[in-house]
Amino acid sequence: MTISASSAPVNVASAILYGQPAPDLITPPPGAVQVSPLVPGSTDLVTLADQSVDHAVVLAPPGTQERDYVLAQVLRVLKPGGDLWVLAPKSRGGARLRKALEQFGCQVTEDARRHHRFCHLRRPESLRDLAPVLAAGAPRRLSDLGLWTQPGVFSWDRLDPGSALLLEEMPTFTGTGADLGGGIGILASRVLASPAVQSLWLVELDRRALDCARRNLDDPRVQFLWQDVRQPDLALKDLDFVAMNPPFHDGGTEDRSLGAAFIRAAAAMLRRGGVCWITANRHLPYEAPLSDAFAQVTLKADRGGYKVYEARK
């Protein structure tokens, strides 16, 4: 059974959709505007005016702090009496949705089907505890990292071990290159420390991370692309180098094909003789896609559960 979030057509500006739920789970209002930061080209939810939206459908992210921030933002922009559907897989936060919504003073009805929990409500006239949740989930500069970041982006409050190992092993680059899945700009910052680097493309799917990277990288040589590396229209060619720590989770589920897709994309954008430096968890089987895409592959480090490869085209 598919739930219909609204039976009547609504104006484009009056309905929003966060995320990409399967069409057999819920039908968003016609014309709903996408507001997920993981969909390139979407509208930034933060920029919407208070109490300006009539209908909202949210595929809730799995992380508690990120989820609560998204719910608070959606409730902020909903008009009193506005219609809200929130869903999530039971195994990735669905069982906690009702409690998360009730903390804001909402009266919630709940249903379960197809391994998901569905919560429905009408926004009350007044909400409680919205401000502290919005503040807790907002971008901030962490003094220990010295960087802007935000809950919900990859490894938002610490340097992840894979990137740390790559930073230890990575050479000084020259010419033009790319940081694929560049996040908040940790690898790019090291790359740009070399005056021999002429330009760098930072490609990232998460708009929140990209916005932080713009703050962290005050350098005219860097250009930012909000794009999915797996899409075929990524028009980068004849690069001298690529550095990357590719993701291996999609929507909270491990997906080893992501890393393989990043490897193919890196090879396609490098010139002959160009080099790719990649870090990954030790258990991820990237040796075969690396060997398929590159002429020479060298293991440069293997410690602490992570490995670093240099791959030359």
Q: What is the pLDDT of residue 59?
A: 97
| 239: pLDDT strictly greater than 90 | yes
Looking at this protein, which amino acid is placed at residue 7?
A: S
What's the mean per-residue pLDDT of the chain?
92
Residues 241 and 200 in one domain: yes
Last residue of a domain, one of 136, 158, 175: 136
Question: What pLDDT shows up at residue 252?
Answer: 61
In a shared domain, residues 107 and 180: no
- What pLDDT is stored for residue 249 in this prediction? 60
Section 77-104 average pLDDT: 94
Helix, strand, coil percentages, rounded to 5, for the chain: 25, 35, 40
Most confident of 35-39, 114-118, 284-288: 35-39
Q: What is the CATH number of the domain that holds 15?
A: 3.40.50.150
Phi, psi for 43 (deg, rounded to 5): -80, 145
pTM: 0.92
User: Closest Cα partner for 257 from 267, 247, 266?
Assistant: 247
Count how many domains the chain has: 2
pLDDT at site 159: 92
Using one digit for the tens of pLDDT, what is the confidence trace for 6-28? 444 334 469 999 999 988 899 99
Mean pLDDT of 20-44: 93
| φ/ψ (deg, to 5) at 68 | -65, -35
- Of 111, 136, 161, the residue that ends a domain is 136
- Dihedral through CA 259, CA 263, CA 264, CA 270, nearest 10? 150
CB 248 within 8 A of CB 261: no
What pLDDT score does 10 carry? 37
Q: Do 118 and 188 reside in the same domain of the chain?
A: no
Residues 173, 127 share a domain: no
162 shares a domain with 130: no
Last residue of a domain, one of 90, 115, 136: 136
Distance CA 296, CA 166 (A): 18
Structural domain boundaries, residue 65: 3-136
